A = this chain, B = another copy of it.
Amino acid sequence: MTTLRKQRLGTCYYPEHWPRERWETDAALMAEAGISHVRIGEFAWSRLEPEPGRYDFGWMDEAFDVLGAQGLRIVLGTPTATPPKWLVDTMPDMVALDDRGDPRRFGSRRHYCFSHQGYRAECARIAEALARRYGTHDALEAWQIDNEYGCHDTVMSYSRAALDGFRNWLAQKYQSPDALNRAWGNVFWSKEYSSFDAIDLPNLTVTEPNPAHVMDFWRYSSDQVVAFNRLQADIIRRHSPGRAVSHNFMGSEIAFDHYAVGADLDIATWDSYPLGFLDRDTSDEAVKLRYLGVGDPDLQAFHHDLYRACGQVRNGQSEGRWWVMEQQPGPVNWAPFNPAPEPGALRLWAFEAFAAGAEIVSYFRWRQPSFAQEQMHEALLLPNGDRNEGWHVCKKVAGELNALGAVAAPERADVALVFDYESAWAWAIQPQGADFSHLDMALRFYRALRRAGVSVDVVPPTPQAVQGRKLVVLPSVYAGSAALANALSGGDTHLIVGPRTGSKTRDFQIHPNLPPGPFGALTGVTVTRVESRPPFAPVALDNGTLFEGWREFVRHGDDVTVQARCADGHPAHLVKGRVHYLAGRPDARLADSVVRRVLADAGIAPLDLHRDVRIRDNGAIRYLFNYGPEPVDVSPWTGKGDALLGETPLEPRGVMAVRRA
């Protein structure tokens, strides 16, 4: 039995920015645009508490009333990302220190150190005050805790509070300095400690610090984000029963474990800015040029799948509740260059999210402010209050959603791609080749899967998450575990194992059996050497594809078939039964060919999509997207079902939805 649910639109609204007499107009315009949800309050601390201990809830009460009167469902943010100046002045050491030891001061946002216990207490206080006041308000649907953890590189702090916390954390973890010395290998370069109090934060060292030292500090820092978030989540749950708790994650942010934070959330949300991310995260200039006004065809989809795995995590699995909390409505202000979306792009983005199961797509923001840092960030309304292009798109999409009616939540996909935060940290700490990253490795396989028309779950490296899949991809998962290897070794699961997988223990030591460590038996492979190579020197394979930047030299057992070799004869693609080992970083053509072959083996027929077309199957509906600048005949991929939305040829930046046969 499938649960059906209606997908809705939202927006982010700042009543405190606008004259009181405008609020009714805004609420009416929201309703007119088909918006059902509105996020408020997440930066309003200086208005909610203008002086220490003096709360001013009057205006917020009115905002609830005005918005509620239009039937809008409210998501209330706790304002802890923007402590007011009076608070910072009472505890100046609450700000984070950067890795030079300089303070990261008041004047923008996120000016706090996650480790500072005094600031945590203040956050608990304001969260409790809000939860007590609004926790059971009729118009309240959900909470957002804080805003964009990690934004502006704020997870790590090199403060005294962090130092004290880190020493404590290490003492808890290792129990004795000797155990820590052994785990880190501190005999190397005489780095042995005789006391936890002798250990520094890993900044300002002469050359790179011990990677195990850094790894533990990243773990510690991630744990502080989790604890910071949980403190408020617990308070809110106490005073606001039945309301969902959420946080809005960011794109390409890897500095803390989002699965772990997600375990304390009911709904994972994220902030999707396809054009800003294209400029920031996509390196190929030809891709940037082709998709300048619509964004990378795979990057937002990847994040949709990733954050679907972070919502409502219960018993090691996600129930998959997720939203887009902030959706780009026009040019933004924060990328080096901020182009305008092409016509159609806003609508395409909304349906990409809905196709991936988003419950809500919420636009950031309602009205463009004429003042302060984000005055050049476009919104659904112009700075003067007139309707902007986004408002009209919103209204159109709202109508289309109504026409589609309730749809099924996403099913568990046949294909799972593992994305692991510790692996992302590991390769950021020790890239070994300057351009190596876990996210890049994951994306190489994700893109190939998506180019093959396959819908994917992105999952953590847990046995539960990979159980029973037809295909699992492990892209450079640094440690892995015997349990994970076990979960993958029985049954029918096909497996693609990328380079560096299993190469380390969790102590950041090379695995004693040599890489791929726990996956040695499964793959039949032993890695004896790795090399990283500059971009101008890829390794050619005998099938004409390339290893880009990373190549491994492996030994293998007799039961392993060498499917492809490097031009110099070293094995490149090795197969043992259903398990494929790739001894290098594949270029797009190699990733495509491996993925397609294994998909076929696994009984999933890969599609031959047009370069600009992407599809997504969700419940009873197949969605098709044309990211390109020309119309495309998509009839080869629509199936026989009724068209619910759009038509073929599919217009540029167009969306089509068909009933799956």
Contact = CB atoms under 8 A, between A and B. Distances in A.
Interface in A279-295: 279, 285, 288-289, 292
Contact of A110 (B193, B194, B207, B288): B207
A96 B16 CA distance: 39
A543 interface: no
Contact of A384 (B109, B512, B530): B512
Given A84-B192, A192-B46, A331-B531, A105 B205 contact: yes
A102 B105 contact: no
Interface stretch (A309-317, A373-381, A444-452, A639-647): A373-381
B188 A85 contact: no
Contacts of A202: 107
B530 A373 contact: no
A204 interface: yes
Given A45-B190, A101-B102, A208-B373, A531 B338 contact: yes
A434 B189 CA distance: 36
A193 B106 CA distance: 11
A330 B531 CA distance: 9
A340 B207 CA distance: 23
A297 B528 CA distance: 27
B154 A206 contact: yes
Interface of A: 14, 16-17, 43-47, 50-51, 79, 82-86, 89, 96, 100-111, 151-152, 154, 184-194, 198, 200, 202-213, 279, 285, 288-289, 292, 330-331, 333, 336-340, 368-376, 378, 382-384, 388-389, 430, 432-434, 507-514, 528-534, 536-537, 549, 551, 553
B532 A338 contact: yes
Contacts of A187: 16-17, 46-47
A514 to B, nearest CB: 6
Nearest to A570: B340
B107 A191 contact: yes
Contacts of A383: 510, 512, 514
A371 B331 contact: no
A537 to B, nearest CB: 5
Nearest to A376: B432
A534 B528 CA distance: 44
A375 B510 CA distance: 7
A89 B198 CA distance: 8
A110 to B, nearest CB: 5
17 contacts: A47-B192, A83-B190, A86-B198, A106-B200, A107-B213, A152-B207, A185-B371, A186-B372, A207-B373, A210-B372, A210-B373, A212-B372, A336-B433, A337-B433, A337-B534, A338-B433, A384-B513
A105 to B, nearest CB: 5
A593 to B, nearest CB: 25
Nearest to A333: B432
Copies, count: 3
List the 9 closest A-B pairs by CB distance, nearest first.
Answer: A185-B371, A188-B372, A107-B205, A46-B190, A370-B510, A340-B531, A82-B190, A185-B372, A336-B434
A536 B289 contact: yes
A370 B44 CA distance: 50
Contacts of A376: 430, 432, 530
Given A45-B190, A338-B531, A185 B369 contact: yes
Interface centre among A152, A336, A373, A511 (most CB of B within 10 A): A373
Given A105-B200, A110-B206, A188-B374, 12 more contacts: A104-B206, A109-B206, A154-B206, A292-B534, A336-B433, A337-B549, A338-B532, A339-B531, A339-B532, A371-B509, A375-B510, A383-B510
B102 A373 contact: no
Contact of A288 (B154, B289, B369, B536): B536
A83 B190 CA distance: 7
A83 B403 CA distance: 73
A361 to B, nearest CB: 21
A188 B17 contact: yes
Contacts of A512: 370, 383-384
Given A84-B192, A371-B212, A106 B288 contact: no
A185 B336 CA distance: 24
Interface centre among A184, A372, A533, A551 (most CB of B within 10 A): A372
Contacts of A209: 107-108, 373
A212 B369 CA distance: 13
Interface centre among A184, A191, A384, A551 (most CB of B within 10 A): A191
A533 B292 contact: yes
A380 to B, nearest CB: 13
B372 A108 contact: no
A211 B528 contact: no
A203 B104 CA distance: 9
A417 to B, nearest CB: 26
Contacts of A192: 46-47, 50, 84-85
A528 B331 CA distance: 11
Interface centre among A109, A202, A205 (most CB of B within 10 A): A205
A608 B336 CA distance: 37
A511 B384 CA distance: 9
Contact of A514 (B79, B378, B384): B384
B337 A509 contact: no
A222 to B, nearest CB: 19
A101 B101 CA distance: 12
Contacts of A207: 108-110, 151-152, 373
A23 to B, nearest CB: 15
A534 B382 contact: no
A184 B338 contact: no
A339 B535 CA distance: 12
